Amino acid sequence: MSWQRLTPSLSLFIDELIFGFISLSLSSFVGCGVCGVLLLIAIRVWWSITVVWSALI
């Protein structure tokens, strides 16, 4: 397998790590509740759109 094929997977893995870290940080500030869940969902959707958009460019 060439490193070119591994690069998107590695990038996605790093993105997931960053998102996980941000989620944990936000959840500790926001606490449990509907607002926290909605905020995390909104950030996840925005992050997914950003990743897809950057892959298309």
Residue 40: per-residue pLDDT = 78
User: In this predicted model, what pLDDT tens digit does every residue of 2-47 receive, in sequence order?
Assistant: 444 445 566 667 777 777 777 766 666 656 666 677 777 888 888 8
pTM of the model: 0.41
**Spans of all domains in the chain:** 32-57
- What span, in angstroms and rounded, lies between the C-alpha atoms of 10 and 26? 24
- What span, in angstroms and rounded, lies between the C-alpha atoms of 18 and 21? 5
Query: With 80 as the cut, is the pLDDT of residue 57 above it?
Result: no
